[in-house]
Amino acid sequence: MQVHEYDDEQALEAHLSFFSLLPNELLIEIFAHFDGPTRVVGRMVCKWWRQMIPIGTQYPPTSTCCSFMEQSAYLGYKKILTWALENACPNSEAAYSGAARAGNKEFVEWLDKQFGFYPGARFYEAAVVYTSWDVDALATRYGIGWNKDIYLLWAMTGDLAMLKKYRVSISKTLMIGILGQALKYNHADMWEWGKSIIMYSSHRANLHKQYLIGNVIDGGHVAALVCVKQWNRDDRDFLHLNEYDYDTICERATYLGHSELVHYILRHHSATWGRLNTKLSRLLCRNFHYELVNQAIRGGHLELMLTLNTALDLRTTRSQLRLAIHHRHMHIIRWLVDNLSKTTDVSKELSMLHTITLDDGRSGESRECIIQ
């Protein structure tokens, strides 16, 4: 809840006197809806309010001066900021960052006029991510050079024009970082531009390979994997992906719930997919498929687990139920119990669930709900 800032002291006193007429239970409920900066300031009104208003664990936290200043600027609280700065509260840079996060250029100009502080790097990072401001003009105005984080943020937001403009300042290592962001956020044009100009050598090749693959997995875009495959054909010494690399990508993508990427790899690149020439290879294939289902359970992805079970013709097992209980995914536990209890005794697993809920400080309600 955002609180009004009073310009008239008499109106503020009248408002506070009204609060004094309310019962404590109602006041506690009202204070619980205060935003972070208002809680901090409200606790300083009087001893009574300090006892009634908890700092709480609101997000983002206001436990530090930096986050307090940033939230106050984000919400546009000029009087709170003025009060804080006049009382020697540091981190004026955070105020600029909060104003940029809100896209409030008027508030930035008010900070310049009122205090004349130096914005700092966090302000530019927030401006790149949250606004469409002319960051070149901001850099000229405040006199700051770009750091590597700014380049990576441009890559994240897909601002290829700015990267081209400052191409001369981009090192080979930074370009690898930019390419990773392009894969993670599926910027195909940036990927083509970056890989066409990089001069690659064998130095730290495996590290760069793992970094780029990690961004493909985190993003979960099939198009990004296709881009990597294309470079794989162009420069096999750098980004050579063997079929077991695809299996590793598939397992991690299953854990993260990227179903499209999982199905694409299973159809085209799984080392244990479609190569069932021997009894051993069939066994390895089956084990790999069950491991994929286990990864879906670990990640808490019920729909993906069901899809894999159907597509790969797998049966539900008690070990999967124990795995779901271990990771506390109640929606998966309910589904597995409903299906396993028809043909299998799951009493041991339910006892295991009861023990875990008690260890977590919960009541036995979870077990009873599942049994019902």
pLDDT tens, per residue, the chain with 372 residues:
445 554 555 555 555 566 667 777 787 787 777 777 777 777 777 777 777 776 654 444 445 667 778 888 888 888 888 888 777 676 677 888 888 888 888 888 888 887 776 677 778 788 888 888 887 788 778 776 677 888 898 999 999 998 998 888 888 888 889 999 999 999 999 998 988 776 555 556 677 778 888 999 999 999 998 888 877 655 555 567 777 778 889 999 999 999 999 999 888 876 544 454 455 555 667 888 899 999 999 999 999 999 999 888 888 888 999 899 889 898 999 899 888 877 777 777 777 777 766 555 554 444 444 544
Task: With respect to residue 300, please indicate whether it lies within any of the assigned structural domains.
Answer: no
Chain-centre distance of CA 355, in angstroms?
A: 32
The reply to whether 251 falls in a domain is no
Instruction: Tell whether 4 and 54 lie within a shared domain.
Output: yes
Q: Which of 123, 115, 81, 80 is nearest to 98 (CA)?
A: 123
DSSP 8-state code for residue 167: G
Flag whether 24 is in a domain.
yes
Q: Are residues 52 and 98 in the same domain?
A: no
Tell which residue, 289, 302, 297, 292, has the closest CA to residue 318: 297
Choose among 287, 313, 298: nearest CA to 253. Answer: 298
Residue 133 domain-assigned? Answer: yes
**Radius of gyration of the chain from Cα atoms?**
28
- Single pTM value for the model: 0.70
Are both 108 and 136 inside the same structural domain?
A: yes
Whether 155 is in a domain gets the answer: no
Domain edge (last residue) among 10, 37, 63: 63
Question: Which pLDDT score is estimated for 10?
Answer: 54
Please give the angle made by the CA atoms of 228, 233 and 238, to the nearest 5 degrees: 70
Q: Which of 297, 219, 222, 302 has the alpha carbon at shortest distance from 266?
A: 222
Assigned domain for 199 exists: no
> Are the C-beta atoms of residues 41 and 83 closer than 8 Å to each other?
yes
93 with 137, same domain? Answer: yes
Task: Look at residue 15 in the predicted model and tell me its pLDDT.
Answer: 57
Amino acid at 150: I
In this structure, the answer to whether residues 334 and 364 fall within a common structural domain is: yes
- The whole domain housing 43 covers 1-63
Shared-domain flag, residues 56 and 83:
no
Same domain assignment for residues 3 and 43: yes
Which two tokens mark 92? 């004026």
- In a domain, residue 107? The reply is yes
Using the 3D structure, point to which of 145, 173, 207 is the last residue of a domain.
145
Same domain for 136 and 82, yes or no, is yes
Residue finishing a domain among 93, 114, 145: 145
Give pLDDT, residue 73.
86
**Judgement on whether residues 56 and 116 belong to the same structural domain of the protein:** no
Say if residues 6 and 14 touch (Cβ distance below 8 Å): no
Q: Other C-beta atoms within 10 Å of 307: how many?
A: 16
**Does residue 123 fall inside a structural domain?**
yes
One domain for residues 30 and 81: no
Do residues 77 and 137 share a domain?
Answer: yes
Q: Do residue 77 and residue 57 come from a single domain?
A: no
How many domains does the chain contain in total?
3
Which residue is it, tokens 């546009």? 76
Give the integer Cα–Cα distance in Å for 69 and 233: 51
